[in-house]
Chains A and B, each alone.
Chain A
Amino acid sequence: MIRPAGEHGLLVETGSLEMSHRLDAALRDAPPGGVVEIVPGPETVLVVAPGADRERLRARLASLAEDVREGAGPAAREGRVVTIPVVYDGADLESVARLAGIPVDEVISRHTGRELTVGWLGFAPGFAYLTGLDPVLRTPRLETPRTSVPAGSVAVAGPYSAVYPSASPGGWRLLGRTSTRVWDVTADPPALLLPGVRVRFERVSGA
């Protein structure tokens, strides 16, 4: 289903993150005329095109969505694997271990043991929601968010993990920190973690 989102936007329901990535990739491969924003989400892709003929764009999106459902078009855009070194000394390591009912070392081995995938970005510039977290590590957000979480903090909340791209308030549980910069306004693109990129956390000893 394609829903209107104002005069210039169309929200395509993809039904899954995988289909969102495929449609996002297909749209970036050959953007229809007038498209300004393509915003993938877990079950949708928002397309904003102030200059476009709406009905033509709707028809084009419907046919692209059909193509990617049938497996045509480019694969999910990013096949890259980014390794992120983490010093596991986060303030919430103990509480995550307690909530999960496992020792701290197992929290770390489960966090490093799986390859995660960037689902989408939101909340803050460069803030990537990483999917594929070991279900044992699913914990609720802090009841009272911290007023400031340092840039480079590696955290979990619900079914996601993330690296804080810059200092900001935050309610995710902190497992550790990385020296990898995931956000740099002077880089092109400024975000290291783009939708579809695969991520592996690696334990390193702290300084």
Chain B
Amino acid sequence: MIEVVAPGPYATVQDLGRPGLAHLGVPCSGAADAPGLRLANRLVGNPEGLAAVELTYGTARLRFLDGAWVALAGAPVTSEAGMGAPFWVPAGGELRFGPPAWGLRTYVAVRGGIAVEPVLGSRSTDSLSGLGPEPLRAGTLLPVGPPQGEIATDLAPPPPPRPAVLRLVPGPRDDWFVPGAPAALCARPYRVTQDSNRVGVRLRGPELVRARQGELPSEGMVLGAVQVPPSGQPIVFLADHPPTGGYPVIAVVRDADIPVAAQLRPGDEVRFTLRSHH
């Protein structure tokens, strides 16, 4: 059992979410930076999709009522455990996390995984629909599952931050915008606003001007969609994005760059590019 002493600004349990239920109105949810979760799990010998704690801007404290192997990945934070290697926390031990040196979301995996009750096949907190466990609070107790597999000797020192550049696939609704809009999207950086969350990264910058007025009939939305509400200021959809929406999507962030988007902090600058390499 793990006791949350302090969750920091926002912390949740996350696994790989609830794929396959979008047609029932269920967001996929799951770790915002899925490769970060997978890495943290691999380091403690877990299957990659077990549930872990997703910290937002670190500054949390966790007390381990039983001894446990833990590993951290994602945004690098200071703690007794260090990043990117399995670390033994003895019974009664506490991990105190500082703010990340860069990035926003850190994954704290525990050997055996966080074993809260799954809902629709997942232990993820879905901040949009409310499915899954409540966000962590001081005093929340998290059960740990039985260990599976072996810890392989492994070390994954945190990589340097990736450039804040998001590569795009145009469409599906780029034709709802004036011909210069994709160029405008890529011409100058956007700034990440304070109201960004697990649903999406909200941006402020050059306005994306529509060529068509009226309403788009509601349609399926994908992870990484750059949706443009009437304000003309884009939103990049993250894990808890709504499965359907009625604002046009000008372009979609490439899969490999979703973790970059998920690690953007309010105040950060980010660029878009339509070229496939940078």
The answer to whether A and B interact is: yes
CB within 8 Å of B: which residues of A? 3-9, 11, 24, 36-46, 48, 50, 120-127, 129, 165-166, 185, 189-191, 194-195
Are the C-beta atoms of B25 and A5 separated by less than 8 Å? no
The CA of A12 and the CA of B246, in the complex, are separated in Å by: 16
Interface residues of B in 1-27 (CB under 8 A from A): 19-26
Q: A7 and B255: CB pair below 8 A?
A: yes
Name the contact of A42 in the complex, choosing from B218, B223, B253, B255 (C-beta under 8 A): B218
Min CB–CB distance B203 → chain A (angstroms): 18
- Pick from B23, B221, B222, B249: contact of A121, CB below 8 A: B23
A5 contacts B131, C-beta separation under 8 Å: no
- Please give the residue numbers on chain B whose beta carbons come within 8 Å of chain A beta carbons, in ascending order: 19-26, 119-120, 129-131, 169-173, 217-225, 242-245, 249, 252-255
Q: How far is the CA of A185 from the CA of B24 in the complex (A)?
A: 11
Q: A42-B217, A121-B25 are in contact. Are A5 and B172 (CB under 8 A)?
A: yes
Q: Helix, strand, loop or mixed for chain B's interface?
A: loop
A45 to B217, CA, bound (A): 12
Chain B residues, Cβ within 8 Å of A5: 171-172, 220, 222, 225, 249, 252
How far is the CB of B126 from the nearest CB of chain A, in Å? 9
Q: Are B25 and A6 in contact (CB under 8 A)?
A: no
List 9 interface pairs A-B (beta carbons < 8 Å), by A numbering. A3-B172, A5-B171, A6-B255, A39-B22, A41-B218, A121-B25, A125-B24, A126-B25, A185-B119
A123 touches B24 (CB 8 A): no
The 3 closest A-B pairs by CB, nearest first: A46-B220, A39-B220, A6-B252
- Which residues from chain B contact A8 at a C-beta distance below 8 Å? 222, 255
Q: How far is B118's CA from A161's CA once the two chains are assembled, in angstroms?
A: 31
Residues in chain B near residue A166, CB distance under 8 A: 130
Closest to B256 in A: A7
CA distance A8 to B254 in the complex (A): 9
In the assembled complex, the CB of B262 is this many whole angstroms from the nearest CB of chain A, namely 15
